[in-house]
Structure 1
């Protein structure tokens, strides 16, 4: 995807989000904290000489019943015994749009710092920033959404994700 085309898509998404976000709220008594929801993810994986631990809290602000905007932070520790140890940390900004109650569309910009130390290799370390822009769609019921997202910036040669498509489960309380 060309950069100009990507910019046009991002601008279109932003316009849709702002259209819904600045709709009038019929209940002026709502204060800031009544519109905030917290969620995130915890991950724990163990395998054949491997460990993967992730913590990713996030919060969103609901402008109205159709649009929310939020931020998240993430830390992951990954270890493959006798091969490498990696620390990933960073943050994200997410926009959510619910055109109808059961459907949730999302755009999430994620920036992660990746620090990898190799144990038995000619490479001693690999440190870089990884940027991902996920566009997603899911089925929403109550506080949970299940769906799939696509990283439009995915590059097979320089990315921490093995594929551009990723399933997700999103829960906010």
Structure 2
């Protein structure tokens, strides 16, 4: 067996180590890392709704801000708040406040499917009339909306249906309602 001189081993070891560490040093100096995950806030969109209805002795004001987080191009999840005031002169006035959880799915860019769980508190004070004394009615209303709409850019126009609708206790007069959803 042929004997290897220690200086050759040392030089070979030195060359290998130098090559490894010099590549690490050069790599540290360059920023060649491609980050395909944008920061959290780049995936968040804000939107919501404003409502104002005024008529002869009737007032309806609502503010409904919301935000969604785009998990990817197909799925988004979010939260919303709801504040409202409804009044009919000499009959009643009502305050509505609460929140919702939203899930959006875009199987193709033009179609948006949605599910929304809404929980609101309804505080209504009825005024006394000639035939009935005044009273208050305070309760929680839960709605589960399933919806579908046509989407173009940041706007979706569609309809949703409350599968938990109850004629006696639901906040709205119908389980079916159209919507316009906008997120920026």
Query: Is the TM-score greater than 0.5?
Result: yes
1:123 positional shift: 4.3
Kindly tell me the number of residue pairs found equivalent between the two proteins.
148
Aligned-pair Cα RMSD in Å: 1.2
Residue 8 of structure 2 corresponds to none
Residue 86 of structure 2 corresponds to 78
Residue 154 of structure 1 corresponds to 165
Query: Structure 1 residue 135 and structure 2 residue 163: aligned?
Result: no
Residue 107 of structure 2 corresponds to 99
TM-score normalised to structure 1 length: 0.83
Residue 49 of structure 2 corresponds to 41
Cα deviation, 1:97-141, whole Å, max 9, x if unaligned, reads 000000000000000000000112434100000000000000000
CA distance in 2, matches of 1:98, 1:164: 23
CA distance in 2, matches of 1:144, 1:69: 16
Moved over 3 A (4+): none
Q: Please list every run of 5 or more consecutive structure 2 residues that lacks an aligned counterpart in the other structure.
A: 1-33
CA distance in 1, matches of 2:59, 2:108: 40
* Matched-pair contact (CA < 8 Å) for 2:65–2:81: yes
Please identify the structure whose Cα radius of gyration is greater: 2
- Secondary structure of the corresponding residue to residue 68 of structure 2: strand
CA distance in 2, matches of 1:122, 1:113: 23
Residue 116 of structure 2 corresponds to 108
CA distance in 2, matches of 1:54, 1:106: 21
